[in-house]
Every structure is written in C-alpha cells, then in structure tokens.
Amino acid sequence: MIKKYIGALEAGGTKMVCAVGDINGNIIDKVRIPTTTPDETLRCCFDYFLEKNIDALGIASFGPLDLNINSDTYGYITTTPKPGWQFTDLVGMASKALDVPIGFDTDVNGSLLGEVTFGDARGFSDVVYYTFGTGVGVGVMSGGRLVHGMMHPEAGHMLVLPRDDDRYHGHCSFHRFCLEGMASGPAIEERFGEKGELLSERMDVWELESFYIAQAMVNTILMLSPQRIILGGGVMEQRSLFPLIREKTSAFLNGYINTKEISDIDSYIVPASLNGDQGIKGCFKLALDSVKYAE
C-alpha cells in the first residue's frame, strides 16, 4: 500500500531525473544526476530514493529494454549502443537496493503514460507519443494498454522515403533511410552544419524535417488509428514544425481518412502538455500500477 511517497526514475543517456511525488502525481522534489557508469549513476539515484523513503518506484528508461516479465533478463537495458550500459539489470539493482515494488517501461511509453494519466490526453485509450531528440523514440498505447508485444515498438527506425533533392546519407548505422537517420537532432546538425536550435530562421530546414515527420504521422495513423498523436523531444521545441507537419500529413493522406479527428488536425497532432514532466509523471503512474499488481 502507498502510505506517502512514490519515486520516479527517468533514465536517459545523458542524465537521470529522479523525483518523489504523491499519489496524485504532484512532484514534491526532483534532481538531475549525470549518466556516467551504471554503478556510479545508479548508486546516486538509489541513495536519493533511500533517503526519501518511497513506497514504490516507476522507472522509464532508454533502451532497448527487456519488458517480458517471464524472461530471465526482464528489467534489463539490453543491446544499447551506450558504452558500459549493455545488459544492465536496472530493475534487479533497484529492487535489491530499495526493496519496493517497481514498475518499468520505455522512456517514451513513460511519457505517453504521463500525458494520458495527468496531461491533455487524459481519457484517451489509443495514443502515440513520439520523441524527436538525439534519437527518435515512439511509445504506443492501444486499447488502454502500453504496447510491448515481442519487445516494444521501435518505430523511430521505420523506413521513410527520401525527398528527391535530399542527398543526405542518413544518421543511422543500421538503415539508410529511416526516420531517426533522416530526422533526429544529429541528422539535422550533420546535414545543415549547425544544431537545430540555431536554425530557427531557416525555413528550408523545417520544410524538410516536416516532410519526414509527416510520413511517420501517416504511417502511424494508417497502422494504429490513434485518437491523438503527441510530439515531444528537443527538436519539437521548434514550434514552427507543427503547422508544417499537420499540413503535410493532411496532404499525404489526401482525403483517404475522413474522421472528425483528422478534420481538426490542430488538436490531433499536438505538443506534449506537461512542461517536460511527462516522463516523470508517467513514472509515478508506473509506480502506482506496480503496487496494484503486487497486492
């Protein structure tokens, strides 16, 4: 039973965000810890939670992850390219250190869960959350459940068609023309020679970026029929992208889907609503659910 506080651990490649909250998802305290080695980083995180006396912990992590509860490596970060973090037993280490129920999911499923539980997407059962940052991640809720399946969706690597005049070779070492390879923050930086945050005035950059993101929107709409699509991550700070993405998505769909959601596309493809705390709030929900399942 939750007596007082729950913990949230948003595990990222550059930083860990640790927070303590109440059962209504209010953040009481939050710290950032740089991601170095697993032992050093996680020790700092666990010390923080030990001091706060939490009753349950939700972890949303960069991946790939093993989310299959019946697997020997459940709770592990598996084949990540992040040096030193391959096959890190995140849930096992947390459970040993803290001895509380633990909920675990991908970083993007965490953000999605935060938006659906505490944000503007409350009440929806079918939602897709994209993050466009150093990589491209996608979280999926279908019929009220976060989709795991064989492992978890890796739709950041869906294939996209290159624009005729785009000679860029892509930033992904696995695929020539995937979404992450063509539209992640590092892809923008490599293609245009400067970070996205310094390219606000360059409309050609956002025209091209929205061409790739809109392809992902169309694939998502046709495949999953979501009630809403939320776009987060550093690249989406570029707010001029939203109208471009909506316009191109409608143009690519070309009238094929005629729902009230698509006709009101401004409220269909939207930014995240929780001021960057969607991941942490999703972890709170994972923590609350872990208690429910443990009891």
Q: Segment near ligand ADP (CB under 6 A), from 111-119, 171-179, 182-190, 211-219? A: 182-190
**DSSP assignment letter at 178:** B
The reply to whether 88 sits near ligand ADP by the rule CB under 6 A is no
Report the nearest approach of Zn ion to the CB of residue 177 (Å). 9
Residue 153 contacts by C-beta under 8 Å, 6 or more apart in sequence?
A: 138, 139, 140, 147
Q: Return the one option of ligand ADP, Zn ion, none that residue 238 interacts with (CB less than 5 to 8 A, by type).
A: ligand ADP
Q: Return the one option of ligand ADP, Zn ion, none that residue 237 interacts with (CB less than 5 to 8 A, by type).
A: ligand ADP
The reply to whether 227 sits near ligand ADP by the rule CB under 6 A is no
The reply to whether 173 sits near Zn ion by the rule CB under 5 A is no
| Amino acid making up residue 112 | L
Report the nearest approach of ligand ADP to the CB of residue 237 (Å). 3
The reply to whether 279 sits near ligand ADP by the rule CB under 6 A is no
Which residues, in sequence order, are bridge partners of residue 140? Answer: 128
Q: Which of 188, 193, 222, 220 is nearest to 207 (CA)?
A: 188
CA dihedral 109, 289, 12, 196 (to 10 degrees): 40
Residue nearest to ligand ADP (CB): 185
Q: Which of 95, 101, 92, 110 is nearest to 16 (CA)?
A: 110
Q: Return the one option of ligand ADP, Zn ion, none that residue 12 interacts with (CB less than 5 to 8 A, by type).
A: ligand ADP
Q: Return the one option of Zn ion, ligand ADP, none that residue 157 interacts with (CB less than 5 to 8 A, by type).
A: Zn ion
Residue 126 or 237 with smaller CB distance to ligand ADP: 237
Beta-strand pair 15-21/27-34: antiparallel
Q: Segment near ligand ADP (CB under 6 A), from 173-181, 188-196, 214-222, 255-263? A: 188-196
Per DSSP, the residues of 10-70 read: EE-SSEEEEEEE-TT--EEEEEEEE---HHHHHHHHHHHHHHHT-S-EEEEE-S-B---TT
The reply to whether 77 sits near Zn ion by the rule CB under 5 A is no
Report the nearest approach of ligand ADP to the CB of residue 4 (Å). 30
| Amino acid making up residue 160 | V
The reply to whether 172 sits near Zn ion by the rule CB under 5 A is yes
Report the nearest approach of ligand ADP to the CB of residue 196 (Å). 2
Residues 193-212 contacting ligand ADP, CB under 6 A: 195-197
74 contacts 91 by C-beta, under 8 angstroms: yes
Q: Return the one option of ligand ADP, Zn ion, none that residue 243 interacts with (CB less than 5 to 8 A, by type).
A: none
The reply to whether 139 sits near ligand ADP by the rule CB under 6 A is no
Residues 2-41 contacting ligand ADP, CB under 6 A: 12, 14
Q: CA 28, CA 180: separation in Å to the nearest integer?
A: 35
In the three-class reduction of DSSP (H, G, I as helix; E, B as strand; rest coil), residue 279 is classed as helix
> Dmax over Cα atoms in the chain, in whole Å?
59
Residue 164 or 201 with smaller CB distance to ligand ADP: 201
Q: CA 295, CA 287: separation in Å to the nearest integer?
A: 13
Q: CA 32, CA 190: separation in Å to the nearest integer?
A: 28
Residue 178 or 231 with smaller CB distance to Zn ion: 178
Q: Which residues bind Zn ion (CB under 5 A)?
A: 157, 172, 174-175, 178
Q: Which residues bind ligand ADP (CB under 6 A)?
A: 12, 14, 133-134, 185-186, 189, 195-197, 233-235, 237-238
